[in-house]
Structure 1
Amino acid sequence: MTAFSLSPEAAAPRLHVARRTLERLRGVPALAARYPRHLDADSLERLAQLPPLARDDLNTALAHLEPAADRSATWLFQSGGSTGAPKVGYAPTGFYMAGVHAHWQPLDRTDVFVNAWGAGRMWGAHFLAAALADLSGCRIIALGSVAKDEYGAWLEFLAARRVTAIGGTPSVLRLWFAHARAAGLRLPSLRKVLWLGEAWQPRLDDDLAAVAPEARRWGMFGSTETWVVGTNTPDCRADTFHPLPHQLVHTGDHGLLDFTALDPAVLNPVLRYRTGDAGELTACPCGRPEPAMRVLGRRDSVVQVRGLGLDVDELVARAERAPGVARAQVVLTERGGRATGLELLVVAAGPAPAPDLPRLRTELLTATITLGTAFQHDPGSFRVRPVDELVSNDRTGKTAALVVREES
């Protein structure tokens, strides 16, 4: 059973872009055999018969295809680098945000917006958000990354400037609001929180209630390769997004989402591209009639630990439900591809009460079959360790659930 976000009637006038992308991919020697001539993209049914494009395939294609940059300048961006190999993407100036703004307008001319996405090396989120804010006509504070000892002063500045909106990855937003909550600072004018780059973190709701009770979340879902696929509003679930008209979302029997860009200006060859996210098409509680996309999480969160599958997201979620735990992260140490040790890094929720880490470790070993079996003969190789900060990507500010380190 397969489903598309657009009806055949709505997709028909746009499928010529998919056919053009298919021809580009057929021109890549390493991919030509995957797309035989008898398969075309002249209907949704035929499109579903095409093999999905994976990350390595896209990298191969981009190495052979020149972006269609004859009409304007082209930005070259990178994603990945924290849990996988870096991936390259292209975007025209404007980052396709005019199409997003036409259907999703969280900001208006009255807003004072803090762009807290890091302007990291070859990462596009900061500039993408700047393009959206520019279209909105609001005042912009392009703050970018902030060092740990700077949060207090900047929070006071933002309160004095009566900031009404802030945007960033959920990892970065949690740093902002956790610092404000710990310092007893409030942002009474803040009404909007924009986010992109990671899943929404439920603990943010608790921090917002204390720091900025009038603030509501506005989310975007996408990647460097696809750019913004869908958006949501405060009336939608945090995991549910409405695909934009130029983004075709497909879900199949295995529950993996794939994306096809139907924007004639698209530079990346996005044809049934899979990011690794599982999901489903569903109705949204906000009441909008068109199908919405519910993102259920990444299917690549399961890693092999001594021959056994460990669901990293499940382990982190279980740890973060423990009393006194604010955040958790898994660090897997390997030698020659075999796990030699696993650490669960834990950030305490506050000065007191402190989490009972020995008890948490025992509970995880008992309740998680993979851990109990994998470390049965050397239980000391699984540790739970308190830290002040989790391991994050210096370039993007993202904090992955899993960090893999090679032991020398």
Structure 2
Amino acid sequence: MTFSLTDTEAAGGLAVPRRTLELLRTVPGLGERYADAAAPGTLAELAALPPLAKDDLNTALAHLEPAAEQGATWLFQSGGSTGAPKVGYAPTGFYMAKVFEHWQPLDRDDVFVNAWGAGRMWGAHFLAAGLADLSGCRVIALGSVTAEEYPEWLGFLAARKVTAIGGTPSVLRLWFAHARAAGIELPSLRKVLWLGEAWQPQLEDDLAAVAPKARRHGMFGSTETWVVGSNTPDCPADTFHPFPHQLVHVGADGLLDFTSLDPAMLNPVLRYRTGDAGELGPCPCGRPGPAMRVLGRRDNVVQVRGLGLHVDELLERVEREPGVTRAQVLITERGGRAGRVEVLVLGALPDPEALRRELLSSTFTLSTGFVHDPENVVVRVVDALVSNERTGKTAGFVVREEA
């Protein structure tokens, strides 16, 4: 099966993709691509339509300028860590009522800390707030905090007997690492909600020490698609159950694309590709229907001196080192050319120079691209990786232009 729903299940919702197709035909620069495409009446016909990439959706949104039929329309930004910012729209409520129909990780008795960043045009904080409102729980809308504030806030959260917290895994790791370092426990914490990045297995160690009763509850989506699916503590961290209003398809190249079946969706999401690879199949939790396993991004190949550097493969090798908790590639460019590649390492690494020599000799792009200046390939242990101040996300690679 390549779709998360059958033709019968999706039959009523295909009216939405047909309407989206008509909208895309009016967009300069995209209209010709869809001019001869038949309006999809089956999933096979939908799969025959050209997919949308991020730049395509940006073009469509700039032309269509959607507006909510009722209430306010929120304008959000995604990207900005490794690519150009992308725009998305959402009505008041952020589509969370449909999510809440099928996934209710919070209940009225919870005290929930919303630790997603609240500003700079990122939607996750407000999306989580919408979910919390539907659950009727008490909310501490904390957002981002600075390093020196963690101990005091952690003491406050322990005193308030917080039962749930939510954020990106990068931000959650900061919370639990600070709690562990300060000897602060959160014995009432039972639920950890996450969205925005892949779950980080290293979180499990800190959770076991700080909040042994806590279990993870994940969401998968993007600013353009909004929440596509969710998982429970009984699901693997990389496996999500798509909601009925989100149609997931796996292409022949293994890439996931998403089509909205929600009539209220403001973004024209028609076979939209986020860059993630995946597969559909049963979930070990035993819930019926195909689940979506996310296998990672396929756009984590960056050009370094004319050669493709596979960042995920490089990081996978580095993170196998004993004592390394996470790594990141920082590329410094001068005039559009990579002048320096640094592998930033969190954790303990007794001999960074030995690892540098191994990576330089075993990675074709590094050994070839830096054959005349190998000193510009560096492995460095750091206290913190480079994060997006707006969202708290920590990308696998960051490109900086040197002045």
Please state which band the TM-score falls in when normalised by the shorter chain: over 0.9
Larger displacement relative to structure 2 (155-164 or 38-47): 38-47
Q: CA deviation at 1:81?
A: 1.0
Equivalents in 1 of 2:37, 2:286: separation in Å? 41
Per the normalisation by structure 1, the TM-score is 0.96
Matched, 1:276 2:275: yes
Aligned length: 403
Equivalents in 2 of 1:34, 1:123: separation in Å? 31
Per the normalisation by structure 2, the TM-score is 0.97
> Given the alignment, which residue of 348, 364, 368 partners 2:363?
368
Structure 1 contact 162–190 (Cα < 8 Å) conserved: yes
Q: CA deviation at 1:252?
A: 1.1
| Percent identity of equivalent pairs | 76
Partner of 2:381: 386
Amino acid at match of 1:395: R
Matched, 1:189 2:200: no
Equivalents in 1 of 2:267, 2:298: separation in Å? 23
Structure 2 contact 37–49 (Cα < 8 Å) conserved: no
Q: Deviations over 1:232-261 (max 9, x none)?
A: 000001000000000000001101100000
- Aligned partner of residue 46 in structure 2, secondary structure: helix
Q: Deviations over 1:353-372 (max 9, x none)?
A: x5321222223223333323
Q: Deviations over 1:162-218 (max 9, x none)?
A: 111000000000101111111221111111000000000111111111111111100
Q: Deviations over 1:128-182 (max 9, x none)?
A: 0000011011110000000000001111111111111000000000101111111
Q: CA deviation at 1:66?
A: 2.7
Q: Deviations over 1:346-402 (max 9, x none)?
A: 2225xxxx5321222223223333323332321101011222211111111111111
Amino acid at match of 2:382: V
Amino acid at match of 1:141: I
Larger displacement relative to structure 2 (328-337 or 135-144): 328-337
Amino acid at match of 1:380: E
Equivalents in 1 of 2:149, 2:52: separation in Å? 42
Matched, 1:163 2:159: no
Listed as ranges, the matches of 1:43-82 within 5 Å are 43-82=42-81
Amino acid at match of 2:5: L
Equivalents in 1 of 2:70, 2:397: separation in Å? 41
* Structure 1 spans left out of the alignment, 5+ residues: none
Q: CA deviation at 1:38?
A: 4.5
Equivalents in 1 of 2:206, 2:350: separation in Å? 19
Partner of 2:152: 153
Partner of 2:172: 173
Q: Which runs of 4+ in 1 moved over 3 A?
A: none
Larger displacement relative to structure 2 (141-150 or 307-316): 307-316
Matched, 1:105 2:104: yes
Q: CA deviation at 1:71?
A: 1.8
Equivalents in 2 of 1:394, 1:26: separation in Å? 37
Equivalents in 2 of 1:23, 1:355: separation in Å? 59
Amino acid at match of 1:404: V
Equivalents in 2 of 1:38, 1:273: separation in Å? 16
Equivalents in 1 of 2:37, 2:326: separation in Å? 51
- Aligned partner of residue 11 in structure 2, secondary structure: helix
> Given the alignment, which residue of 387, 390, 397 partners 1:402?
397
* CA-based RMSD: 1.3
